[in-house]
A and B are shown apart, each in its own frame.
Chain A
Amino acid sequence: MLNEYRYCNMPFDIIADAVKAKFVDVSTSEFRDNRRLHVPPAQAYDVLKTLKEQYGFNMLFELTAADYLKYPNATDRFGVVYGLLNMTTGERIYVRTFLNEPDLTLPSTFSLWKGANWLEREVYDMYGIVFAGHPDLRRILLPEMFTSFPLRKDYPLRGRGERHNFPVITRAES
């Protein structure tokens, strides 16, 4: 029953061509079954909005980032990936955008998908990428007082001593 509408989806090429016609700086890439649109950060919100409203990608199933500091032949520092899913056709599309150090700001997609709320907070927590317009952009997984962004490549795996920065309770005190 599901397979009926699974195969009547709009091909990726048609969507990609339409998006490319509307936004000039968009390029595409493909690896295995992941079909991606590369967009500049300034246009990210508009591309996502177009995909949601015109092509029916009504679920944001994934939002994550990566730090390309030590990546071979990387030109940009941070990459943010939006994974969109069309619940009617079951089609997935990935939108990638790249950010560089002084201006780590992206528009929040909370107004498009409510599911973006915590996903954006996590990316902020781990990478320090700010989502402008997010209703409640606070640290989510780490303590509020934590000063670093741990998934950045210049942060060591074992931390900088935060994990042992606590008072000790001895038998006599407890």
Chain B
Amino acid sequence: MALMIPDVMLAPLNPLANWVRANSLWPMPFATACCGIELMATGASKHDIARFGAEVMRFSPRQCDLMIVAGRVVMKMLPVLQRIWMQMPEPKWCVSMGACASSGGVFDTYAVVQGIDRFIPVDMYVPGCPPRPEQLIQAIIDLQDKIKATGTLQGVEFGKRTEHMGPLANVEMPGDFAKSRRVSLN
């Protein structure tokens, strides 16, 4: 029996746009430490992140829509992280991979930022020190579900996000307490 395909389909295009977005994530591997090696293992032959359409690792932030922050971020690196996040075009998402990126992990010291979500928005947290490759793959599947559940074809919600975009407020370097503006942690 031949499969009947209707000549005309009437459906909102939003799910189609979300489906496309969800299954063609281009990660920007912001790999700083141990989790970066697990990220490499996720991309390598055994775990093969390509099965979920997210294998196109691009090191240029302007080509990516998913930032995977793998590893701890320290004082000297945080301005770099923020700058790379600002350079990524919308729509974009951020995965905080590992305990160090999510909360500082075991490194409760003077130099390590206690969770990148204090300074940039994060969509998905992956626990573990470092997380197993399966956990990262699960996080990407979950993120795909999240992308599929939100978003519109025109990307109005992304437009709202970017309308206030301007130059980043000048980043004072740490230690310069006389001039620096203390940010509230709320």
Are the CB atoms of B168 and A169 closer together than 8 Å?
A: yes
B120 within 8 A of A: yes
Residues from 96 to 146 in B contacting A, C-beta threshold 8 Å: 108-114, 118-121
Cβ-closest chain B residue relative to A148: B175
Among the stretches B36-44, B46-54, B79-87, the one at the interface with A is B79-87
Cβ-closest chain A residue relative to B184: A168
Give complex CA distance A155, B76 in Å: 19
Chain A residues, Cβ within 8 Å of B177: 147, 165
Cβ-closest chain A residue relative to B123: A171
Chain B residues, Cβ within 8 Å of A172: 160-161, 163-164
Chain B residues, Cβ within 8 Å of A150: 110-111
A103 within 8 A of B: no
Cβ-closest chain A residue relative to B120: A169
B10 within 8 A of A: no
Are the CB atoms of B160 and A166 closer together than 8 Å?
A: no
Chain B residues, Cβ within 8 Å of A169: 82, 85-86, 119-121, 168
Are the CB atoms of A168 and B173 closer together than 8 Å?
A: no
Size category, A interface: 20 to 34
Size category, B interface: 35 or more
Cβ-closest chain B residue relative to A159: B110
Are the CB atoms of B171 and A147 closer together than 8 Å?
A: no
**Other-chain residue from A155, A156, A157, A162 in contact with B75 (beta carbon distance below 8 A):** A162
Are the CB atoms of A171 and B161 closer together than 8 Å?
A: yes
Residues from 11 to 50 in B contacting A, C-beta threshold 8 Å: none
* A-B CB pair tally, cutoff 8 Å: 105
Q: How far is the CB of B114 from chain A (nearest CB, A)?
A: 7
Give complex CA distance A148, B119 in Å: 23
Give complex CA distance A34, B175 in Å: 38
Are the CB atoms of A165 and B120 closer together than 8 Å?
A: no
Give complex CA distance A174, B120 in Å: 8
Chain B residues, Cβ within 8 Å of A70: none
Are the CB atoms of A146 and B175 closer together than 8 Å?
A: yes
Chain B residues, Cβ within 8 Å of A155: 110
Cβ-closest chain A residue relative to B172: A165
1/0 per residue B155-186: CB within 8 Å of A? 00000111111101101111111001111010
A143 within 8 A of B: yes
Are the CB atoms of A163 and B110 closer together than 8 Å?
A: yes
Q: Which of A145, A166, A167 has the most CB of B within 10 A?
A: A166
Chain A residues, Cβ within 8 Å of B57: none
Are the CB atoms of A163 and B75 closer together than 8 Å?
A: yes
Chain A residues, Cβ within 8 Å of B56: none
Q: How far is the CB of A157 from chain B (nearest CB, A)?
A: 6
Q: A143-B76, A143-B173, A145-B175 known; A166 and B85 CB under 8 Å? A: no
- Chain A residues with a Cβ under 8 A of chain B: 142-148, 150, 155-174
Q: List 19 A-B contacts (CB under 8 A).
A: A142-B111, A143-B76, A145-B174, A147-B176, A157-B108, A157-B110, A164-B113, A164-B118, A164-B183, A165-B182, A166-B79, A167-B171, A169-B119, A170-B121, A172-B163, A173-B164, A174-B85, A174-B86, A174-B162
